[in-house]
Amino acid sequence: RARVAWLRAGKRRAVPLRLRTLRSREATLASKQGLHSYDRAGFETVVDPAKLLTGRASTTWNLELGAYAGSLLPRTGPVRMSGSCPLPVRHLDDFVRIAPTVQSGKLRLRVEQLQARLVEHSSDGERVRIKGELTAGAPGGLVAVRVENWRTKEAHDLPVTVDGRTFAAEVPLALFGAAEGGADPWGVGLVREGGAWSTLAVRPDIAPGRYGIGGGRELMVLANPSGNTELRDQTVRPVVDTVRWDDGPLVLAGSYPGAGPRELVLAHSGHAEETA
């Protein structure tokens, strides 16, 4: 069965893709039947990021696949993905990135021209100081940095200082710590004159930060799956920030400021078998 694929943005933009067939025995096993083989149902394609740039602030590309099955016209449809594993953000330039997303099971590539990005964070024990950089030609009139709780919608506009293309703001740690249970995420964005709001991306080489807020909780400063700045009010827990798998064993590295003995336990997601 012949197949074709393309990325489509709106009705007029399309980028054809070349497919390479891959052996995929999992497809036959997933069909739960023995009459037909789908071992050659797998495919691979390579996308040239330069072809996805449109000059717009944001462009979403939908990945579509067509298959010829004894007809002149292919049967077409979106490429779907299962599972909730975040897909990595790809930075093409300092202020240009491609963020893969899965919406209603459909794989999409969102190309974004960023206005600003986080370049540094630190704390004096009472406040977290965040420092950012504006893209050349970014709109002026920056009046505040806004932190907003994604769950409760509680928001605070914080004073911001601007020096050329750099800006800085201080986030009081006293704003956090009231949550109970697991993680409580807050978004960070920029507010301009007139109320215009934009997200604050994270420079890809900026490591996450963790700052204690008392009561067994901490504030994490990190990039969310979309590559934007997130302040995560959470219980103190182990955090893995580096994964490396060269030759040999898988290496996990991170930090855990909690006291007491420590033991790394791997648990099977299916039958809960554990190994230390």
| Domain assignments of the chain as residue spans, ordered by start | 2-113, 116-237, 240-275
- Check residue 73 and give its pLDDT: 63
Rounded to whole angstroms, how far apart are CA atoms 217 and 231?
A: 13
For the beta carbon of residue 250, count every other beta carbon within 10 angstroms: 8
166 neighbors 134 (Cβ within 8 angstroms):
yes
Nearest Cα to 86, choosing from 73, 69, 99?
99
Which residues are CB-neighbours of 181 under 8 A, at least 6 positions away?
A: 235
- Check residue 83 and give its pLDDT: 63
- Check residue 72 and give its pLDDT: 62
Structural fold of domain 116-237: Immunoglobulin-like (2.60.40)
End-to-end CA distance of the chain: 47
User: Which residue type occupies 75?
Assistant: R
Q: For each of the chain's 276 residues, which pLDDT tens digit applies? A: 557 888 999 888 999 988 888 777 777 777 777 777 767 667 788 899 999 999 888 999 998 888 766 666 667 777 777 666 677 899 999 999 999 888 888 889 999 999 999 999 999 999 999 999 999 988 889 999 999 999 999 999 999 999 999 999 999 999 998 888 889 999 999 999 988 999 999 999 999 999 999 888 999 999 998 899 999 999 988 888 888 898 888 898 888 887 777 888 888 877 778 887
Rounded to whole angstroms, how far apart are CA atoms 117 and 152?
A: 25
- Check residue 1 and give its pLDDT: 56
- Check residue 138 and give its pLDDT: 83
Three-class SS of the chain: CEEEEEEEECCCEEEEECEEEECCHHHHHHHCCCCCCCCCCEEEECCCHHHHCCCCCEEEEEEEEEEECCCCCCEEEECECCCCCCCCCEEEECCEEEEEEEECCEEEEEEEECCEEEEEEEECCCEEEEEEEECCCCCCCEEEEEEEECCCCCEEEECEEEECCEEEEEEEHHHCCCCCCCCEEEEEEEEECCCCEEECEECCCCCCEEEEEECCEEEEEEECCCCEEEEEEEECCCEEEEEECCCCCCEEEEECCCCCCCCCCEECCCCCCEEC
- Check residue 273 and give its pLDDT: 81
Rounded to whole angstroms, how far apart are CA atoms 191 and 199?
A: 9
Nearest Cα to 135, choosing from 119, 158, 117?
117
- Check residue 103 and give its pLDDT: 80
Cα dihedral 33, 39, 40, 45, rounded to 10, equals 110
